[in-house]
Copies of this chain bind each other. A is one copy, B any other.
Amino acid sequence: MNKKAFYHLSYGVYLCTSWDEGRPVGCVANSAMQITSSPATLAVSLNHDNYTNKCVGDTGYFSVCVLAEDCDPKLIGKFGFFTSREKDKFADFPWKVRGKLPVPDGALCWFACKVIDKMETSTHTVFLGEVMDADILAEGTPMTYAYYHKVLKGKTAANAPTYQAEEKSGGRYVCRICKYEYSGDVPFEQLPDDWVCPVCGAPKSRFEKL
């Protein structure tokens, strides 16, 4: 099997949010898609290890928020590389309740969904949600997973369906927080002291040389 074929599948970059006893929770998801148009339903795939998976299962509700190409990269850093089990991911970002679910202000649009079915796999749950409400918050271009990888040089969280172990190899300087691997044209040592990780916002001092 040529595993590079998996890089040719096209995805967006989304936040999936829910509630944990009144506390907003969420994580990055790239595997989300519309399943039926009338009634409108969306499927989203979440790793069993994601705390958001547990919360969606417990509450029966989730949102899918579409991120724009020019969204605050800290949204991806915070929601993609930390866990809601330990951290209030919403603390650093303005957010509102929309369609009864927490939605960060930086989202391009959102879908509020009620779980109507699910399919279990060895590592992920595919939740099928009926879309109760949806709206567009801003103009912009939806970020694709290809854009995230090619333009933002973003990395894949180890519990994403699209994670491939090969991604671990190579590189010179890696962020200890989010594992972002620096690949800019300027040598890392010459970056200014106030330079921060473009993904999670960690300072330059949190990078380690491989």
Contact = CB atoms under 8 A, between A and B. Distances in A.
Interface of A: 1-6, 8-12, 31-43, 45, 66, 108-111, 117-119, 121-124, 126, 128, 131-136, 142-146, 160-164
Given A10-B12, A142-B10, A145-B10, A111 B5 contact: yes
A33 B31 contact: yes
Contacts of A37: 123, 160-164
A142 B9 CA distance: 7
28 contacts: A1-B40, A1-B135, A2-B109, A2-B134, A3-B134, A5-B111, A5-B134, A6-B40, A8-B109, A9-B33, A9-B42, A9-B66, A10-B143, A10-B144, A11-B33, A35-B45, A35-B121, A35-B124, A36-B123, A37-B123, A37-B161, A38-B123, A41-B121, A43-B45, A117-B119, A117-B121, A119-B126, A144-B146
Nearest to A118: B119
B9 A110 contact: no
Nearest to A134: B5
A202 to B, nearest CB: 26
Given A36-B122, A136-B2, A161-B35, A8 B142 contact: yes
A113 to B, nearest CB: 11
Contacts of A117: 119, 121
Nearest to A67: B8
A5 B123 contact: no
Contacts of A39: 122
Nearest to A38: B123
Most B Cβ at <10 Å: residue of A36, A124, A131: A36
